[in-house]
């Protein structure tokens, strides 16, 4: 089975970041885009299992990515800064918009990512 693909958008789109290293360690193939425009362009060409973005990108809101993901198998999570940390907000879950789902702190989100990638590697959905 192919490696699960992760797409990091915005400030988290740094191949040397802790997030990118962890995703790679957990078996994901990582791709990167610095802006909303770059993300849209790549999403029109390629499919991803997991998209991680900050909520507000310099050139547009990550919420505008939703129509490109509906009906796909992709999941989109957006980070929202709070104090000295962030919350991760589920936006799309396997192609279905899921606004209103509970946000997660980084530790809880890390466990979800690890479990999700393990399930995708073994061919099971979440």
Q: What is the pTM of this model?
A: 0.89
- Alpha carbon 47 to its chain's center: 12
**What's the pLDDT tens digit per position in 107-123?**
999 999 999 888 876 76
- The mean pLDDT of 90-113, rounded to a whole number, is 92
Question: What per-residue confidence (pLDDT) applies to 126?
Answer: 41
Question: What per-residue confidence (pLDDT) applies to 57?
Answer: 82
Question: What per-residue confidence (pLDDT) applies to 1?
Answer: 53
Residues 6 or more apart in contact with residue 5 via CB below 8 angstroms: 28, 29, 30, 31, 46, 47, 48, 49, 50
CATH 3.40.50, domain 5-121, yes or no: yes
């Amino acid at each position: 089975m192919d490696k699960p693909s992760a797409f990091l958008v915005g400030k988290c789109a740094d191949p040397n970041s802790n997030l990118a290293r962890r995703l790679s360690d957990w078996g994901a193939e990582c791709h990167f885009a610095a802006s909303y425009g770059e993300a849209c362009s790549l999403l029109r060409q390629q499919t991803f299992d997991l998209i991680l973005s900050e909520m507000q990108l310099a050139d547009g809101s990550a919420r505008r990515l939703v129509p490109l993901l509906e009906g796909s198998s992709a999941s989109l999570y957006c980070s929202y800064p709070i104090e000295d940390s962030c919350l991760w907000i589920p936006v799309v879950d396997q192609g279905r918009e899921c606004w209103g789902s509970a946000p997660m702190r980084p530790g809880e989100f890390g466990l979800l990512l690890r479990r999700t990638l393990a399930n995708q590697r073994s061919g099971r959905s979440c």
